[in-house]
Amino acid sequence: METKVCTNPNCSHKGESQSFSAFYRDNTKAKDGYTYRCKDCLREATADYAKKHREQRYANARKWAEKHPERVKENRRKWLKEHREQFKETSRKWNETHREQLRNTRREYYLAHKEEAKKSQRKNYLILKSSIMAAYGGSVCACCGETDIRFLTIDHVDGDGAQHRKLIGGGGNTYKWLRQNGYPSGFQVLCYNCNMGRYRNGGICPHNDPNNEEIKQNAQESS
């Protein structure tokens, strides 16, 4: 087995011969094709340099990022794609250990950018709502055909929406729950009018009530 001695006088191996595997490949200077200093010494030197010139390195990195914003975005996108699970786990752990700090930061940002934050929230909510509607046949009421998404909502086919919302919370939590649970069956897209109509009319939208004529007649007689 071929060996060589590290040229660093302060090497931890104290002039001992080491196998070539303890050195990096280098065909530019060394005749044997390996670095003069061993891997341990080079790693230690790199770490020392980084520590001594930390601020300078950070400043250089910031300048480069400012000049190449598109490259930065592309590098981040590639890294996140390759390390998605690692990033999620690291973020989850950090959020758990810095919960109060995160809450305060979000609160401060919201107060300082209230209108911008509200606009962003509305946009994100609409994106989420649209994706949920798409999973259940598209943004169109399954009863009357209304297509304006502002009038549409998700209806619990079995009429157990109130109980479900008690378990998961109200607001946009229903949309989040549907996405997290793989868009289960038992839900449909309705407009708020048909949704409320079903609720007030025993689970049948007035558009489809077989007793419509009788109801209309009774209403006319009572008037």
What are 1-11's pLDDT values in tens digits?
Answer: 688 999 999 89
Residue 68 and residue 40 share a domain: no
Range of the domain at 197: 133-208
Residue 33 and residue 15 share a domain: yes
In a domain, 220, yes or no: no
In a domain, 14, yes or no: yes
Structurally, the chain folds into a number of domains equal to: 3
In a domain, 86, yes or no: yes
Residue 142 and residue 203 share a domain: yes
Identify the CA nearest to 132 among candidates 153, 157, 146, 158: 153
Q: Is this model's pTM higher than 0.75 or not?
A: no
Residue 85 and residue 39 share a domain: no
Residue 41 and residue 59 share a domain: no
Structure confidence by residue, pLDDT tens digits, 56-91: 999 999 999 999 999 999 999 999 999 999 999 999
Residue 88 and residue 47 share a domain: no
Structure confidence by residue, pLDDT tens digits, 90-123: 999 999 999 999 999 999 999 999 999 999 999 9
